[in-house]
Amino acid sequence: MKINLLLAASCFLLFSGATNNRKPSVKMIDPVDFSHVKITDNFWGPRLKSHATTTLAVCIDQIENQTGRIQNFENAAKGEGKHSGIFYDDSDVYKALEGIAYTLKNNPDPELEKKADEWIDKFAAAQQPDGYINTFYTLTGLDKRWRNMDKHEMYCAGHMTEAAVAYYQATGKHKLLDVAIRMADHMINIFGPGKRDWVPGHEEIELALVKLYGVTKDERYLNFANWLLEERGHGHGTKGGEGDWNIAYYQDDKPVREMTDIAGHAVRAMYLYCGMADVAALKNDTGYISALNRLWDDVVLRNMYVTGGIGSSHHNEGFTEDYDLPNYDAYCETCASVGMVYWNSRMNQFTGDSKYVDVLERSMYNGALAGISLSGDRFFYVNPLASKGKHHRKAWYGTACCPSQISRFIPSIGNYIYGTSADAVWVNLYIGNTSEFNIGKTLVKLQQETDYPWNGTVKLTVQSPMKKEIRLRIPGWCKSYKITVNGVKKSTAIEKGYAVLQKKWKAGDEITLTMDMPVEVVAADPRVKEDVGKRAIQRGPLVYCAEQADNANDFDKLTLSAATRFTTDFNPSLLNGVMTIKAGADKEIMFIPYYSWDNRDAGEMKVWMDYNSAK
Ligand SMILES: [Zn+2]
């Protein structure tokens, strides 16, 4: 065992020195990762803090003490004892570790790092001599492994790999990366061209293998990810193995490059599309990109809620028919909204089109952010758009994918603010931060100051001289804006939703973007039956809802009309500080941001309000 680990470590060092002779990517934009971006604003800053102090503590307590997730690794290392929980529970530990890795980069914390190292030692000890790692099969019978494609063996391996890459990037330590490499090599020994077929029931390994390729530059991992994607749609699902196989649910009904409609399980679909995008970017596979464009239209135009949530059905945690978007019974898993952020970020990188960031922002500020309480210690799995008052966040779930997803998502939001291309800095999200990164040999230093999402004024200060374009995203919700450079008004070209500013920038140059942020009354596509005769309220990127806590009487009778006028008021003591909206209808209605609902006394909630068009 020791010898194998040493070998893996030396292989890793060898790979990390290899050069990449690949053709230029079809990607137009490279992301700037969170480690270059220090978030300083009053909206996300406190959330990052409460994530580090509260959310991670809840996850660690649940993983170590309230459930037997770490005990499973200890038992697997000894080869004795029982497995407790569900066969995919290892994945939550890995996702929490990924969140710890990002947090360590944002805010170094030796105690937290010690905890992570302890866990990693236990993972490494639980790895089998042939590289296999999965506590469920290790404790219930290794002879049964790799027989049932829906038992999440590759899914857990994928989350372990993502955690390994994140922890390596945050700390420089590669013990877990060596474990991930050995598991990847184990899988490649068994599966692949001329070997066994395999269709992972829950996608995730594909995008993780591309990350592993990213740090090792070992093309076998990229090629294996590509092969796994190409396995779909050829009748390989469960062939010769155990378990039932619903080809639509598992996204195995047709080859991925022929897909036109989102189907099956929503989170799996998101991870599949991310994997396709990652492979397409490195393999210049325009067939994948065409499929992703078709799928994006199907998701966003016909199957997405106003909150950016997807997957309307409890029955299959996924999709039914187009425009079937019930409100009380919406599923909208938190993980699927986070998946929309992951996928839309990748789509934006192909095209430089801001429409993808519009969706990313919608999912991030609404569907995903609702997934965690303001106190940082309770989580939604399901995110309906209306409630009779019985739906509440919980400290944890039997299937804990959503708490662990939030725990890795919040500390990594710095990933989505900036992008770069050879000649330009792309400003995608308006979040106060200081940042420092490179475009080739050019150092880029920026400071962003804003009270977004409460108001639309953003000041961007260039802090080092550079000769690059600055491309400011003009959000899809914004109908009127003004840009000044050093106090002088500029009219700029707009390309695919970005205002393009060209100048030889000096340190101290100031750009101000002022976006009008009125209250908008939004109608759904008329084919969405549930929302006929209803309207929703949106301001900037935030979707609003009415809660019974603010609208105690006649909640069922609240009605908007064409004559309704709105006023806004920032209330610093309500819900950690929110811009409230009051509608001066027959009976005044008060709205709060959707993400902040269910943080007070239990009561009814709705996003879509009755609308009287006659008035
Ligand atoms: Zn989930």
Map 406-424 to HEC letters: HHHHHHHHHHHCEEEECCE
Distance CA 271, CA 264 (A): 12
- Lookup: tokens for 188: 């490649």
> Are residues 511 and 538 located together in one domain of the fold?
no
> Which amino acid is residue 1, in one-letter code?
M
Burial environment of residue 16 by CB neighbours within 10 A (0 to 12, 13 to 18, 19 or more): middle
**In the beta sheet, which residues pair with residue 538?**
520, 543
Comparing CA positions, the residue from 436, 419, 441 lying closest to residue 428 is 419
Question: What are the DSSP calls for 312-342, one per residue?
Answer: -BTTTTB--STT---STT----HHHHHHHHH
pTM: 0.95
What is the distance in A from the centroid of ligand 1 to the CA of 358?
22
Distance CA 66, CA 313 (A): 30
CATH number at residue 482: 2.60.40.1180
Is residue 434 included in any domain, yes or no?
yes
> Exactly one of 317, 333, 361, 530 is catalytic; which is it?
317
Whole domain around residue 442: which residue ranges? Answer: 420-452+456-515
> Exactly one of 332, 401, 478, 545 is catalytic; which is it?
401
- Lookup: tokens for 547: 């809660």
Q: What is the pLDDT of residue 313?
A: 85
- Catalytic residue status for 317: yes
Residues 6+ apart with CB under 8 A from 27: 281, 349, 350
pLDDT digits (tens, 9 = 90+) for 44-66: 999 999 999 999 999 999 999 99
Task: Please identify every stretch of the chain with a pLDDT value under 50, giving residue numbers as ranges.
Answer: 1-22
What is the distance in A from the centroid of ligand 1 to the CA of 401?
4
What is the distance in A from the centroid of ligand 1 to the CA of 155?
13
- Catalytic residue status for 469: no
Give the residue from 488, 515, 542 where a domain finishes: 515
pLDDT digits (tens, 9 = 90+) for 549-595: 999 988 999 999 999 999 999 999 999 999 999 998 667 999 999 99
What is the distance in A from the centroid of ligand 1 to the CA of 535?
28
Is residue 444 included in any domain, yes or no?
yes
> Which amino acid is residue 337, in one-letter code?
S
Is residue 257 included in any domain, yes or no?
no
The total of structural domains in the chain comes to 2
Residues 6+ apart with CB under 8 A from 331: 266, 311, 312, 313, 314, 317, 318, 382
What is the distance in A from the centroid of ligand 1 to the CA of 509?
43
What is the distance in A from the centroid of ligand 1 to the CA of 317?
10
Is residue 267 included in any domain, yes or no?
no
Is residue 330 included in any domain, yes or no?
no
Give the residue from 495, 515, 535 where a domain finishes: 515
SS3 451: coil
What is the distance in A from the centroid of ligand 1 to the CA of 68?
19
Ion ligand 1 residue ranges (Cβ < 5 Å)? 333, 335, 401-402
What is the distance in A from the centroid of ligand 1 to the CA of 344?
18
pLDDT digits (tens, 9 = 90+) for 388-432: 999 999 999 999 999 999 999 999 999 999 999 999 999 999 999
The percent of residues above 70 in pLDDT, for the chain, comes to: 95
